[in-house]
Structure 1
Amino acid sequence: MIHIDGNSLTLCEIERVLYDKEQVAVAEEAIKGILDARSLVERKLKEGKIVYGINTGFGKLSETTISNEHVRDLQVNLIRSHACGVGEPFSEPITRLMLLLRANALAKGYSGIRMELIQLLIDCLNHGVHPVIPSKGSLGASGDLAPLSHLALVLIGEGEAIYQGRRYPGMVALQKAGLKAIELEAKEGLALINGTQAMAASGVIAYIEGKRLADFADGIASLTLESLRGVLDPFLPMTHEVRPFKEQQDVAKRICAYVDGSGLMTRQGEVRIQDAYSLRCIPQVHGAIQQVLSYVEDKLTIEINAATDNPLIFPETDQVISGGNFHGQPLAFAMDFLGIAISELANISERRIERLVNPQLNDLPPFLSANPGLESGLMITQYVAASLVSENKVLAHPSSVDSIPSSANQEDHVSMGATAARHALSILENARKVLAIEWICAAQAADFRGMEKLAPKTRKLYDYVRKRVAYAASDRSFSFDIDKMANELKHCREPFL
């Protein structure tokens, strides 16, 4: 059981909820803060105080006062009017994570909502009621308004949700799971949608999968190194000790561990003096990518335990403050940075693919074909990798440098963080396919070299791919093989080191 309090949720706990379906509950120590904040909201209403989002309109309409008899209608109208997202729905892991992160942010105790609302979010998560949430439509400031509104619709018995693999109207999905819709009270609609949970959820998934791919890339690159009879010397410790980036040193150590015991690696001068940069500079490039991942992890860890709605409720000082914690700029930068890093992971991988298949750059059969000339072998896999890498260069254009004013220019600067996160996920999908192609090509090259000469650890990588993708003794379509190995890179947790 994972207990959330708004302050201590970790990425490891998130993985347990997403992939192991571990149950979630509100931590006992968080309940007092939740209740205290709610009491302050109700007291402000009784006192007739004018407070943004409680008894006023929203955005440019914030100067419009709403009477107490209409404060409930105000919250429902907000959800309905803002639920206008478009595009394909978010994946199940992202949707589940949006439920978890919104509940965690509300449990922090600065949102002024009732405990029952947080509990319903958690119940939907634990019972597998997954709102259908279109993935496009957020500006990444004022919160992820459109996506979170689609999430909130289901809580009030509207919208649509997936339950046990089938799509239902929101009310039906709740009923099938034994849950009841909730009637929103003052502040609660705004508290549900004024947050960064769509971009944060997408970002966490992108980080988790990006970290897995970057770690895998070291092993795949090592298999390529052996298949090309790479020079070991650039990976030895002394080079990296005099440029002491820890991540660079770590990658170099991993490469050395992968190829330890190899009968194919060479030493400087045996076959050639120097390898090309895509081989020789693996620690420098992969290490820099790991630095980006560390930066992204830090920003996500802060954000998933932050209060990001508006206004915020401070019972200890009897204040309700309208601020800007919903602004997604920190995540927008992080997601753009992540997209750039993963693009580069694919970029250098494609260059290694070229060295594996190009007969002008190696002493292997042309295009790793068993019958070159009559057959084209793996020639076109490099074309595919080049296409994906080129597409990533477009997707890696930073979203965070763009802003379009909204709400009659009241909200005149936005982050586009949700777009940055979606692009990072698209880049990641392409990069997995590029690394899958390198893995397949490296294994094919190892067959020509003699797989028995591989180091023990890279032999595990070779065996892993060979159980799923057969040696190409003749021409065939590789689309299915590429997709299969890309899927392995997405889900595999095999400890090859």
Structure 2
Amino acid sequence: MGKVIIDGNNLTIEDVVHVARDGYRVELSSIAEERVLHSRKIVERYVNDEKVVYGITTGFGNFSDVVISKEDTEILQKNLIMSHSCGVGKPLPEEVVRAIMLLRANALAKGFSGVRLETLKTLIEMLNKGVTPVIPEKGSLGASGDLAPLAHMVLVMIGKGEALYKGKRMSGEKAMKEAGIAPVVLSSKEGLALINGTQVMTAIGCLNVYDSKRLIKSADAISSITLEALRGIIDAFDDRVQMVRPHRGQMVVAKNIKKMCEESTLITRQGEIRVQDAYTLRCIPQVHGAIRDAIEYVEDVLIREINSATDNPLIFPDDGDVISGGNFHGEPIALAMDFLGIAVSEIANISERRIERLVNYQLNDLPPFLTEKGGLNSGMMIAQYTAASLVSENKVLAHPASVDSIPSSANQEDHVSMGTIAARKAREIIENATRVIAIELMAALQAMEFKKGLKKGKGSQVIYDLVRKYVKPLEEDRELYIDINACFDIIKSGKVLEALEKEGIILE
């Protein structure tokens, strides 16, 4: 099993995926340990001197003017976690919670939060031993960070709440006991340091970006099969066309399509069958390319965020200062997640129109709905309905969450980001878009069955051979949801890209 060493500054999205999905161990760097110890000394000094500092010797939110005595600081932190545990709805997936825990640990490792080293190590130990807090998915405004969901994470750290351990849901107290981890008694500043940040929206965002990058590569590959099945024109993918409009994503997609179509006799040249293709074929580089550029922008935002200190107040040990600011505000992630959702919706939009071109005999030279015995059989008629339904749902989900704000905490927190809603919506959009691409894959391969005697491109042949292990050609009507789900699993698992890479076809 691999490991990820965190220092607060160098975490990658791949690291997040490894910990969240692959169970990598997490270790804290020695430099980070020193920074955490240094910053904790500042907090203890302020508490001992009974200096009035937000969140250390005061209440929270609109209670920031209420001074708390030194004797009550532990009660203050415990009450904070219990009172803020107001999440509702279904639990977040285990992989998301593991990502949340990692990101919170990495933020604390920067040394600007003032937690004790043992508290941070407890969070890391929970990750490594598989104690996963049950965190309801709803209840965050995205400023002051993800308060409610992160409070549910901390509940387990203090021996309360609920957790998953070895596949079973149980009380947090029992999970910690069975894992051999001592619950934490929170000290001054620690409760606030653990829940005041953007780690929930950002954790979901990291997994979203990783999945989106894999999906758009798969979409390039699968759209090339459709291009071949419809005897598409390769001239539109000429390097010269892309160079006079040099968006990086567009250039990459055109290269990917040409790699996939190498050695194909299905593909045509300009004027051979027709002069121009419809936009859904001809403009694949322009549309997929713009989506890629959007994903790249979102990735850049997330890489900055996962290596940032996002709680409040922040401790600056070198100066001995404690400053209240607004790094918990999720606006950067909210806007990025809305953008990602819109971009990925477009993967599905253009794919569904390619599906229509595959099943509609008025737009191609194929049997209606890709079945030879139409009438007796409906073929892939209703598969297109399903794709259209998913696309329509995505249009609703793509409405930006970040344009909304509701004041909270007696108008002290009077503008919020709704970033966690944006991240959750984007996750749903990605799932829907993957299913649409799965339907395109199923339909494009079925169309290939009617092109005997013509040679598939190198990439198309690889994918054809892979998918036909799980999904046989459609000769008579059968339960297509089974085939759709199989194609979905092949795409989501990354098998499409792995099969291509195994044959030396590396898509960028």
Identify the residue that residue 126 of structure 1 maps to in structure 2.
Answer: 128
RMSD value, Cα: 1.0
Partner of 1:63: 65
Residue of structure 1 in register with 2:370 after alignment: 368
Partner letter of residue 83 of structure 2?
Answer: S
1:457 aligned residue (433, 456, 459): 459
CA deviation after TM superposition for structure 1 residue 452, in Å: 6.1
Q: What is the match of residue 26 of structure 1?
A: 28
Map 1:387-398 to 2 at 5 A: 387-398=389-400
Amino acid of the residue matched to residue 166 of structure 1? K
1:305 paired with 2:313, answer no
**8 Å CA contact 2:17, 2:99 repeated in 1:** no
Q: How does 1:38-57 map to 2 (within 5 A)?
A: 38-57=40-59
Verify the 8 A CA contact 2:266 2:454 in the aligned structure 1. no
Q: Given the alignment, which residue of 330, 333, 351 partners 1:331?
A: 333
Letter paired with 1:420: A
Q: Which amino acid aligns with 1:18?
A: A
- Tell me, what secondary structure is at the counterpart of 1:2? strand
Distance 1:72 1:144 in 2: 22
2:77 is aligned with 1:87: no
In structure 2, the residue matched to 1:253 is 255
Determine the C-alpha separation between the residues in 2 that align with 1:306 and 1:161: 27
Instruction: Give the letter aligned to residue 464 of structure 2.
Output: Y
2:65 & 2:482 partners in 1: Cα distance? 58
Q: 1:68 to 1:451 in 2, by over 3 A?
A: farther
Distance of 2:11 and 2:370 partners within structure 1: 48
**Secondary structure of the corresponding residue to residue 361 of structure 2:** coil
Counterpart among 228, 242, 245 of residue 244 in structure 2: 242
Aligned to 2:180: 178
C-alpha deviations, 1:451-473, integer Å up to 9, x for none?
86211211111112211111111
Following superposition, the deviation at residue 478 of structure 1 comes to 1.1
Range 20-29 or range 77-86, more displaced: 20-29
Number of the residue aligned with 1:267: 269
Q: Distance in 2 between matches of 1:162 and 1:452?
A: 54
Structure 2 match to 1:199: 201
- Residues 55 and 189 of structure 2 are in contact (CA less than 8 Å); yes or no, is this contact kept in structure 1? yes
Alignment partners' CA distance in 2, 1:81 and 1:18: 28
Give the secondary-structure state (helix, strand or coil) at the position aligned to 1:162: strand
Q: Determine the C-alpha separation between the residues in 2 that align with 1:162 and 1:12.
A: 24
Task: State the partner residue of 1:215.
Answer: 217
How far 1:15 sits from its partner (Å)?
A: 2.5
Aligned pair count reads 497
C-alpha separation in 1, matches of 2:163 and 2:454: 52
- Once the two structures are TM-superposed, the CA of residue 20 in structure 1 deviates from its matched residue by 2.8
Q: Partners in 2 of 1:20 and 1:148 — Cα distance? A: 22
Map of 2:153 onto structure 1: 151
Opposite residue 468 of structure 1, the aligned amino acid is Y
Alignment partners' CA distance in 2, 1:76 and 1:431 = 42
Structure 1 unaligned segments of length 5 or more: list them: none
CA deviation vs aligned residue, 1:135-167 (integer Å, no higher than 9, x gap): 111000101001000000000000001011110
Separation (CA, whole Å) in 2 of partners of 1:192 and 1:18: 19
SS in 2 for 1:56: coil
**Equivalent pair of 1:451/1:459 in contact (CA under 8 Å):** no
> Quick one: distance in 2 between partners of 1:129 and 1:277?
50
Q: Percent identity?
A: 57
Given that residues 8 and 107 in structure 2 are in contact (C-alpha distance below 8 angstroms), is that contact kept between their aligned partners in structure 1?
yes
Larger deviation, residues 452-461 vs 408-417: 452-461
Letter in 2 for 1:339: G
With the length of structure 2 as denominator, give the TM-score of the two structures: 0.97
Deviations 1:393-437 (A, max 9, x none): 010001111100000000000000000000000101100110000
Letter in 1 for 2:433: A
- 1:322-366 CA distances to partner (integer Å, 9 max, x unpaired)? 000000000001000000000000000000000000010001000
In 1, distance between residues paired with 2:134 and 2:119? 19
Query: Retained in 1: the 8 A contact 2:82–2:151?
Result: yes
Give TM-score scaled by structure 1 length.
Answer: 0.99
Give per-residue Cα distances to partners, 1:290-339, cap 9 Å, x unaligned: 00011011000000000000000011111110000000000001000000
Which residue among 427, 431, 434 is the counterpart of 1:432? 434
Task: Tell me the equivalent position of 1:100.
Answer: 102
Instruction: Tell me the residue number matched to 1:422.
Output: 424
1:378 corresponding residue in structure 2: 380
CA contact (8 A) 1:160 1:167 kept: yes
Asked whether the 8 Å contact 2:333–2:419 carries over to 1, the reply is: yes
Offset of 1:67 from its aligned partner?
1.1
What residue is the counterpart of 1:111 in the other structure? 113
Aligned in 2, Cα 1:452/1:464: closer, same or farther, shift over 3 Å? Answer: farther
Judge conservation of contact 1:133–1:150 (CA < 8 Å) in 2.
Answer: yes
1:8-31 deviation line (CA, Å, top 9, x unaligned): 111122222233322111101111
Tell me, in whole angstroms, the C-alpha distance in 2 between the residues paired with 1:87 and 1:470.
39
**Greater displacement, 485-494 / 326-335:** 485-494
- Write the distance in 2 (CA, Å) between the matches of 1:136 and 1:487: 27
Counterpart residue identity of residue 382, structure 1:
Q
TM-superposed deviation, 1:370 = 2.6
Q: Which residue of structure 2 aligns with residue 139 of structure 1?
A: 141
Say which of 198, 223, 226 aligns to 1:224. Answer: 226
In the alignment, is the contact (CA less than 8 A) between 1:370 and 1:472 conserved in 2? no
Q: Shift of residue 483 of structure 1? A: 1.9
Task: Say which is worse superposed, 87-96 or 299-308, in terms of deviation.
Answer: 87-96
Letter in 1 for 2:360: N
- Whether 1:6 and 2:19 are equivalent positions in the alignment is no
Selected match of 1:288 from 287, 290, 296: 290
- Contact kept in structure 1, 2:50 and 2:57, CA below 8 Å: no
Counterpart code for 2:352: E
2:352 corresponds to 1:350: yes
SS in 2 for 1:265: coil
Deviation of 1:274 after TM superposition, in Å, equals 0.6
